[in-house]
Structures are given as structure tokens and as C-alpha cells.
């Protein structure tokens, strides 16, 4: 992979939760991510814009391609959407823990790739962050923007917490 000058930059991003399911002691929803990226270079009409991302600290990663939302003389605006990033929610421990633990005041974070794969994170463990780097492919060249070596990050922890009542 070639490291080029940052010709691509993150303009805005956000998180949404859809298909929320709630019971008296739990809530579960699908977490999605969107981002808009400015590409300042218009040298090639055959470029591909995308994001390389992880939610497990780079033990695994995925690439998601974007689409050109708006084209202008100063560059293009691209949008990338990951509508089904992870299932996330919470479960009240007052009825018992996930592995038959006795009832407690703990609130467990639900986390998983799909509805059947949802489990409770160990008590006190942090919700993994969404980390990503942007890339643009033009021919055989790949330009990256990884936030100056720190990667871009989105905090997902608020989505796995029980709302204050």
C-alpha cells in the first residue's frame, strides 16, 4: 500500500440505531455508521473511494466502498454507509446475569454480529470502538488517510448503556 499526501479527508460522520427492540429488562438495536469524504483530486474518473474498518482492535477488518454523492470542480463528495455494523444494546442484571449469575444491580452490554450471535460483554469491559482509515484507489495507486497514524475512531459505548431514568 502506498502512503500518499492526504487528498481525501473526513468531512462528517454519524451513528444511527435502527430496528430497536425493547423489553422490560433489555433493549437491542442495529447500529449503523455513515461518513462523508471530500476527495480533492479529480485526476481520474476511474477512482474508487472506501473505508477500511474494524470493531475488534484490528484482529479483523473490512473494506466498504462508497458512492460519489456530488461532483464539483474543487473535488468530489463521497458517502459511505455501513447500515448493519453490529447489534448493540443492554440487559438489566436484576433478573440475573448472562451465564446464570445471581441477580445484581449490574447492567450488561449486549454486542454481536447478528441477532443469534448477540452475547453479553464481560462486566466492566469496554464496548469496542469503530476504528477506520480512508482510502482512494486510482489505477494501481492507493492513497490513504489514517488520521496521521492514529486512525479515525467513533465511540460506540453510549449505545450499549441503559438510559438514566
Distance of CA 122 to the CA centre of its chain: 21
Domain locations along the chain: 8-160
Phi-psi region of 159 (alpha: psi -120 to 50; beta: other; left: phi over 0): alpha
Full-model pTM: 0.84
Closest CA to 136 of 62, 91, 93, 78: 78
Q: Which residues of 57-78 are buried (b: 16+ CB within 10 A; e: fewer)?
A: eeeeeeeeebeeeeeeeebbbb
CA neighbours within 13 Å on the CB side: how many for 42?
A: 9
Confidence of residue 24 (pLDDT cuts 50, 70, 90): confident
Per-residue pLDDT of 98-153, as tens digits, reads 777 788 888 889 999 988 899 888 877 888 999 999 999 988 888 899 999 999 99
Cβ atoms of residues 127 and 101 within 8 Å? no
Distance of CA 1 to the CA centre of its chain: 23
How would CATH label the architecture of 8-160?
A: Sandwich (2.60)
Per-residue pLDDT of 67-98, as tens digits, reads 999 887 778 899 999 999 999 999 888 888 77
Amino acid at each position: 500500500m502506498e502512503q500518499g499526501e492526504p487528498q481525501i479527508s473526513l468531512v462528517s460522520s454519524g451513528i444511527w440505531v435502527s430496528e430497536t427492540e425493547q423489553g422490560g429488562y433489555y433493549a437491542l438495536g442495529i447500529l449503523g455508521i455513515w461518513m462523508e469524504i471530500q476527495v480533492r483530486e479529480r485526476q481520474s474518473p476511474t477512482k474508487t473511494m472506501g473505508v477500511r474498518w474494524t470493531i475488534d482492535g484490528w484482529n479483523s477488518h473490512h473494506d466498504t466502498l462508497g458512492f460519489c454523492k456530488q461532483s464539483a470542480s474543487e473535488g468530489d463528495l463521497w458517502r459511505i454507509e455501513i447500515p448493519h455494523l453490529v447489534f448493540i444494546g443492554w440487559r438489566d442484571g436484576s433478573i440475573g446475569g448472562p451465564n446464570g449469575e445471581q441477580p445484581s444491580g449490574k447492567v450488561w452490554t449486549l454486542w454481536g454480529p447478528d441477532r443469534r450471535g448477540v452475547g453479553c460483554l464481560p462486566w466492566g469491559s469496554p464496548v469496542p470502538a469503530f476504528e477506520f482509515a480512508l482510502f482512494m484507489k486510482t489505477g494501481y495507486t492507493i492513497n490513504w488517510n489514517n488520521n496521521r497514524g492514529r486512525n479515525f475512531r467513533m465511540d460506540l459505548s453510549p449505545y450499549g448503556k441503559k438510559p438514566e431514568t
